[in-house]
Amino acid sequence: MAALRGSPADVEERLIARVTELVSELGAPLAGVREALTLVRARGMRVALASSSPTRVIQATLAKLGILGAFEVVRSAEHETHGKPVTHELLDRLDRAL
């Protein structure tokens, strides 16, 4: 239980660092992800990503999957006042960005 020692901020930091590390080592795309992104972009659709994951985890995931530049806008709910299930704030920001 040493991982749970320290302040909540310390525990959160260690958790995010570990998840980022695991994603970087073991992350793999679901079948068809790259093809789907290529298809929608080829059809002129604008593509954005909204996630409740921390920005560091999102960036590590996109980099590992080789799709870092596939999205016009990437937003994390970590910078929003309300997270799931209240998503209107995040969706409003994506709407304005696109």
- Which residues lie below 8 Å from residue 16, measured CB to CB, with a gap of 6+? 54, 56, 57
36: CATH = 3.40.50.1000
How does pLDDT run across 3-19, given as a tens digit for each residue?
A: 678 899 999 999 999 99
Phi, psi (degrees; rounded to nearest 5) at 75: -130, 140
Measured in degrees and rounded to the nearest 5, phi and psi for residue 67 equal -125, 25
Confidence at residue 77, expressed as pLDDT on a 0 to 100 scale: 83
pLDDT of 1 over the 60 cut: no
Domain around 75: 31-98
Report CA dihedral (77, 7, 4, 19) to the nearest 10 degrees. Answer: 30
> Per the domain annotation, does 49 fall within a domain?
yes
Q: Is 89 among the domain residues? A: yes
Look at the chain and report how many structural domains it folds into.
1
Is the residue at 97 inside a domain? yes
> End-to-end CA distance of the chain, in Å?
44
Over residues 44-89, the pLDDT tens digits come to 999 999 888 999 999 999 999 999 999 998 988 887 776 666 666 6
Domain assignment present for residue 7? The answer is no
